[in-house]
Amino acid sequence: MTVTIYDVAREANVSMATVSRVVNGNPNVKPVTRKKVSRTIEELGYRPNAVARGLASKKTTTVGAIIPDISSIFFAELARGIEDIATMYKYNMILSNSDQNKDKELQLINAMLEKQVDGILFMGGDITEDHANQFESASVPVVVAATQDETNTIPSVNIDYEAAAFEATSYLLGKEYEKIAFISGVDDTLINQQKYNGYLRALKEKNVSLNDDYILTGDYSYDSGLDASDQLLQMEDKPDAVFVSSDEMALGVIHGAQDKGYQVPQDLEVFGFDNTRLATMVRPTLSTIVQPMYDIGAVAMRLLTKYMNKEEVEEKKVVLPHRIVERDSTK
């Protein structure tokens, strides 16, 4: 029923090998033969079976991508970067959501390994020993993106979160404010930690003492930003500005303040993180840290192709530049 390479060979009076050669663009085929084979391929409507090819060649031209949640604007952008570069290099991408659940992550890695992916792109919480072991259990290359590696063994693409948080906080502090709140993410990932460290370092540098009340946590969602905003604005000693560790939360903070009748940035300055499209889809527009999500995905995928081709890789840990954009949510 389905036409195979063998059918084409018979019909074109050549061997399977020759058909295989023309399908794979092997130059060692006489032009006349190539033409003949190509025509019968066309006639028979032959479509190469990638599974059979994968079994024989031990290459699937498929990569696995494990992502916390594709419906998050941040990760969706990252995924787009990955997929574009994957396509460019003729790879397909199996995408799975992990919800940052470690068991699920481990299980997904295993499933992808069973499918014989040629490489894995991992995004999530931290890479633990368990992850590293799971990765090692097969010999396919792995690159992590926007994710920290506790074991410090896996190639990665990130920005410098500590520095970014430091700069954001310093920027706010530079206005002679002292009361700067910080809304971090709930999860105790390294990235979160690094942002917090950057915040602390900035305070220290300006000799501002830490006020624990000004440290809140959210889950990166808009609603948790709204909540945080409420908490901030109910304080006796309200902060002058707040550095929020994701844009979506920052929008929540802005609207929470506005809903209570406060003005941003007059009554409260708000500074975000990521520069997702949301940052310009709010009034006032959001000052934030530019984290090049698409590029992180693209660079990570590019790096993975290098490992898959066994090319030399100059830097195993890529740190992409970040920067501040000032918009209207700060003065």
User: What is the contact surface with DNA in residues (CB under 7 A)?
Assistant: 2, 4-6, 13-18, 20-21, 23-24, 27-30, 32-34, 46, 48-49, 52-53, 55-58
Q: Which is nearer to DNA, 27 or 261 (CB)?
A: 27
In the complex with DNA, which residue's Cβ is closer, 59 or 331?
Answer: 59
* Residues of span 46-105 touching its own copies by CB under 8 A: 47-52, 54-55, 60, 62, 69-73, 76-77, 79-80, 83-84, 87, 92-97
| 17-46 binders of its own copies (CB under 8 A) | 45
- Which of 16, 44, 132, 138 is close enough to bind its own copies by CB under 8 A? 138
Indicate which single residue of 222, 243, 271, 273 sits in contact with its own copies (rule: CB under 8 A).
222
- Contact between 111 and its own copies by CB under 8 A: the answer reads yes
Interaction between residue 251 and its own copies (CB under 8 A)? yes
Closer CB to DNA, 6 or 313, in the complex: 6
Does position 179 interact with its own copies (CB under 8 A)? The reply is no
Three state DSSP letters for the chain: CCCCHHHHHHHHCCCHHHHHHHHCCCCCCCHHHHHHHHHHHHHHCCCCCHHHHHHHHCCCCEEEEEECCCCCHHHHHHHHHHHHHHHHCCCEEEEEECCCCHHHHHHHHHHHHHCCCCEEEECCCCECHHHHHHHHCCCCCEEEECCCECCCCCCEEEECHHHHHHHHHHHHHCCCCCCEEEEEECCCCHHHHHHHHHHHHHHHHCCCCCCHHHEEEECCCHHHHHHHHHHHHCCCCCCCEEEECCHHHHHHHHHHHHHCCCCCCCCCEEECCECCHHHHCCCCCCEEEECCHHHHHHHHHHHHHHHHCCCCCCCCEEEECCEEECCCCCC
Please, which of residues 253-272 interact with its own copies by CB under 8 A?
Answer: 255, 258-259
- 14 or 85: whose CB is closer to DNA? 14
Binding to its own copies by residue 231, rule CB under 8 A?
no
Between 52 and 319, name the residue whose CB sits nearer to DNA.
52
Find the shortest distance in angstroms from Cβ 170 to DNA: 54
Q: How far apart are CA 108 and CA 289, in angstroms?
A: 31
CA 134, distance to chain mean position in Å, is 20
Nearest to 132 by CA among 114, 156, 116: 156
Q: Which is nearer to DNA, 52 or 281 (CB)?
A: 52
User: What, of DNA, its own copies, none, does residue 220 touch, CB below 5 to 8 Å by kind?
Assistant: none
Q: Name which of 200, 159, 182 is nearest 317 in CA terms.
A: 159
Using rule CB under 8 A, residue 311 touches its own copies: no
Total number of residues binding its own copies (CB under 8 A)? Answer: 52
- Judged by beta carbon, residue 89 or residue 294, the one nearer its own copies is 294
Beta bridge partners of 181: 242
Q: Quote the least distance from Cβ 17 to DNA, whole Å.
A: 3
Kindly list the residues in this chain that would bind its own copies in the complex (CB under 8 A): 45, 47-52, 54-55, 60, 62, 69-73, 76-77, 79-80, 83-84, 87, 92-97, 110-116, 137-138, 222, 248, 251-252, 255, 258-259, 277-278, 280-283, 294
